[in-house]
Amino acid sequence: MKREYHKWFSPSLGREMELLVFGHGGLPAIVFPTSCGRFFEFEDRRMVEAIQDQLEHGHVQLFCVDSVDAESWYNRAVQPRWRIARHMQYERYIMDEVLPLLRNQNKSPNLAAIGTSFGGYHAANIAFRHPDIFHSMLSLGGAFNPVNFLSGYYDEDCYFNLPLHYLSNLTDHHTLEKLRHNIYVLATGVHDQCWDANEQLARVLRGKSIPVRLDVWGDNTGHDWPWWQQMLQTYI
């Protein structure tokens, strides 16, 4: 299986960023780690191993990015305005720096976003904000409402990075039509603390006639890697 390591100084973030690429072709997917997670998390947690056959046969290609959650949402040492501003710089890094690398390696017209736990938020948010670029999204045990990280602060940038907020009020026909032609999958478990958040997001999407597949796994499925490995094998 092809494995590549990349590192460069990010103009968007003002520091070095790292990522790993697995596979050589097929559907490209940007993979977001869990809260404050690292770019090697998917490999360390055997998620890459779980879909090794699909990667080796060129069905999917993973671009596993680093996070800056410790500098944005989770950074209690700075004011909430800076937390959301740092998050928006992170999105610029993904859109302006990671995507060109991805497109240089993979010419597929489609693009997926994948994430587990808080990475599910990142995957969902960027997919909903850019439905013309991200054509599918897979969230495993996703947490979609980080409003508590803002310590009561709220402005337009906060609003447009909280999917449960901006999707609920979305009326633009052009954007809605783009969203309605994409693929969104939410997978959670009966013992996952994020189950309710997944139900809330699914209700909002269905209320806007945006197709979404919500699977709640039984058999004591919780919020952890062994179940996410099984889910990834199922949906990829």
196 contacts: CB under 8 Å, gap ≥ 6: none
The answer on pLDDT for 217 being more than 90 is yes
The answer on pLDDT for 198 being more than 90 is yes
Domain count, the chain: 1
Position 29 scores a pLDDT of: 98
Amino acid found at 225: W
What are the tokens at 115? 């994430």
| 187, 229, 236 from 79: Cα distances, Å | 33, 36, 39
Tens-place pLDDT, residues 123-160 = 999 999 999 999 999 999 999 889 989 999 999 999 99
Position 219 scores a pLDDT of: 86
45 contacts: CB under 8 Å, gap ≥ 6: 225, 228, 229
Range of the domain at 140: 3-235
3-state secondary structure of 181: coil
Q: Check: CB of residue 182 under 8 Å from CB of residue 172.
A: no
Tens-place pLDDT, residues 25-55 = 999 999 999 999 999 999 999 999 999 999 9
What are the tokens at 77? 């040492």
Cβ neighbourhood burial of 104 (10 Å; 0-12, 13-18, 19+): exposed
Where residue 8 sits, what CATH number does that domain have? 3.40.50.1820
**Number of separate helices (H) and strands (E) present in the chain:** 11, 8
Average pLDDT of the segment spanning 56-77: 97
Tens-place pLDDT, residues 157-175 = 999 999 999 999 999 999 9
Cβ neighbourhood burial of 173 (10 Å; 0-12, 13-18, 19+): exposed
Q: How far apart are CA 124 and CA 114, in angstroms?
A: 8
Give the helix, strand, coil percentages of the chain, each rounded to 5. Answer: 40, 25, 35
Average pLDDT of the segment spanning 190-210: 95
Position 145 scores a pLDDT of: 84
Q: Where are the alpha helices (DSSP H) in the chain?
A: 41-44, 47-50, 52-56, 80-93, 99-105, 118-129, 156-159, 163-166, 173-180, 195-207, 225-235
Q: Check: CB of residue 101 under 8 Å from CB of residue 81.
A: no
Average pLDDT of the segment spanning 43-72: 97
Q: How far apart are CA 174 and CA 186, in angstroms?
A: 24
The answer on pLDDT for 216 being more than 90 is yes
